[in-house]
C-alpha cells in the first residue's frame, strides 16, 4: 500500500470477519499552510509557554484543566487521562443498516478508504460485502476505536471498494430552529416556483469535483510564485456580488431568458457545425472540373 494505514483490524458481520486496512481519503498538504516568521531576522517563531506574572514554565509543571466556571478548573494530568482512553479495538461490528439517503449529510465528518488485507479469503469476503451493500442500497453502521477515540462509522460501497465515513454524534450538532426562526412561512406563487425549477433544470449536470477550484488557494500560490520570481502577481478573477433582488419575478425571468439564449446559441453553433460536416468538401480536381464546365457553357 502507498500510505500508512490509519487503522488495521476486522469488519465483522455476524460470524463473518473480514481483515481490512483503513486509509485516510483526504490530503492535508493539498492547501497552502504557513509558518510564522520574525521579519527582521527571517527566522521561524517558536512558542514559549508562560504564566502571567511568573514567566516561562517547566513542561513538567503543566497539566490539563477543564473549566467548570469562570477561572475555576478541574485539573487532570496525562496519566489520569490515559487511564480513561479507550483501548484500540481491532473490530468494527456492523450493528445496523440504513438506507443510503437516510443519514443527513451534516453528520458526515471525514472519509476513509477501506482496503482488504493481503489475503485471498479476505478479498472474496470483502467483494461479497461490497456487492451486497450495493444490491441492498444500504449503509452499514458501527464504531471504530482509534488513537484513544471512539467514532461512529458509516460503511458504504464505493466503486470497486468500500469506504467508511466517521459521523458526528447527535449532541455535536446545533439544533437548526434558532437559525431558521426568521424564515417566512409563505407559500410561493406557482409561476415563481416553475421559473426557479426551470433554472435549476437548465443548470443540472453530473457532479465533477474537478470543475471547482479553491480560488483563495490558487491566489495564494500565484502570490508565492510571483514573490519567488520577483514580479507582480496575476490577478485572479472573482465573480462580482449580485445586486440585491428587488423584483423576484423579473429576476427569475431574466435569468431563465439569458440561460435559454445561451443554450440556443450553443445549439445553433452545434447545428451549423453538423451541417458543415455533412457538406462534401470540394477537392482541387472537382474545382477544376467545375471551372472547365463553366468555360464550355460560355463557349
Q: Residue 282 pLDDT more than 70?
A: no
Residue 139: count other Cβ atoms within 10 Å of its Cβ. Answer: 22
Which pLDDT score is estimated for 216? 77
Which pLDDT score is estimated for 283? 45
12, 91 Cβ separation under 8 angstroms? yes
More confident position, 7 or 86:
7
Domain ranges across the chain: 7-27+86-172, 190-271
CA–CA distance, 299 with 295 (Å, rounded to integer): 6
- As beta bridge partners, residue 96 has 141
132, 18 Cβ separation under 8 angstroms? no
More confident position, 281 or 108:
108
pTM: 0.65
The percent of residues in the chain predicted with pLDDT above 70, rounded, is 80
Confidence of residue 232 (pLDDT cuts 50, 70, 90): confident
Which pLDDT score is estimated for 242? 62
Confidence of residue 260 (pLDDT cuts 50, 70, 90): low
Q: Residue 98 pLDDT more than 90?
A: yes
Confidence of residue 295 (pLDDT cuts 50, 70, 90): very low
pLDDT digits (tens, 9 = 90+) for 165-196: 999 999 999 999 999 999 988 898 898 888 88
pLDDT digits (tens, 9 = 90+) for 213-229: 877 788 888 888 888 88
**What integer is the mean pLDDT of 284-294?**
46
**What integer is the mean pLDDT of 111-119?**
89
pLDDT digits (tens, 9 = 90+) for 33-69: 888 898 999 999 988 899 999 989 988 888 899 999 9
Selected from 3.90.1210.10, 2.40.290.10, 3.40.30.10, 2.60.40.10, the CATH number assigned to the domain covering 7-27+86-172 reads 2.40.290.10
Q: 12-26, 113-127, 155-169: which has the highest mean pLDDT?
A: 155-169
Start-to-end CA span in the chain (Å) = 83
Confidence of residue 290 (pLDDT cuts 50, 70, 90): very low
What are the helix (H) ranges across 67-172?
78-84, 120-136
- CA angle 118/121/127 to nearest 5° reads 90
CA–CA distance, 145 with 186 (Å, rounded to integer): 47
Q: Residue 131 pLDDT more than 90?
A: yes
Which pLDDT score is estimated for 287? 46
Amino acid at each position: 500500500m502507498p500510505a500508512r494505514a490509519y487503522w488495521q483490524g476486522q469488519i465483522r458481520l455476524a460470524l463473518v470477519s473480514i481483515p481490512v486496512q483503513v486509509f485516510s481519503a483526504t490530503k492535508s498538504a493539498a492547501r497552502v499552510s504557513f509558518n510564522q516568521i520574525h521579519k527582521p531576522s527571517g527566522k521561524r517563531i517558536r512558542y514559549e509557554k508562560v504564566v502571567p506574572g511568573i514567566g516561562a514554565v517547566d513542561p513538567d509543571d503543566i497539566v490539563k484543566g477543564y473549566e467548570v466556571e469562570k477561572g475555576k478548573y478541574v485539573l487532570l494530568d496525562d496519566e489520569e487521562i490515559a487511564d480513561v482512553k479507550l483501548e484500540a479495538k481491532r473490530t468494527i461490528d456492523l450493528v445496523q443498516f440504513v438506507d443510503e439517503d437516510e443519514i443527513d449529510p451534516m453528520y458526515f465528518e471525514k472519509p476513509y478508504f477501506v482496503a482488504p488485507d493481503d489475503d485471498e479469503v479476505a478479498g472474496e469476503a470483502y467483494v461479497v460485502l461490497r456487492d451486497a451493500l450495493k444490491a441492498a442500497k444500504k449503509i452499514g453502521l458501527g464504531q471504530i476505536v482509534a488513537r484513544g477515540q471512539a467514532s461512529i462509522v458509516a460503511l458504504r460501497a464505493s466503486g470497486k471498494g468500500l469506504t467508511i465515513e466517521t459521523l458526528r454524534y447527535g449532541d455535536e450538532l446545533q439544533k437548526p430552529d434558532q437559525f431558521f426562526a426568521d424564515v417566512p412561512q409563505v407559500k410561493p406563487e406557482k409561476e415563481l416556483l416553475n421559473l426557479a425549477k426551470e433554472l435549476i433544470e437548465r443548470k443540472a449536470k453530473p457532479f465533477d469535483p474537478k470543475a471547482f477550484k479553491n480560488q483563495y488557494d490558487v491566489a495564494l500560490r500565484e502570490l508565492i510564485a510571483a514573490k519567488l520570481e520577483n514580479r507582480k502577481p496575476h490577478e485572479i478573477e472573482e465573480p462580482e456580488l449580485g445586486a440585491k433582488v428587488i423584483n423576484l419575478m423579473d429576476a427569475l425571468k431574466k435569468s431563465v431568458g439569458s440561460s435559454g439564449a445561451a443554450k440556443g446559441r450553443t445549439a445553433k453553433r452545434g447545428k451549423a457545425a453538423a451541417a458543415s460536416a455533412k457538406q462534401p468538401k470540394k477537392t482541387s480536381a472537382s474545382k477544376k472540373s467545375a471551372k472547365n464546365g463553366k468555360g464550355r457553357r460560355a463557349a
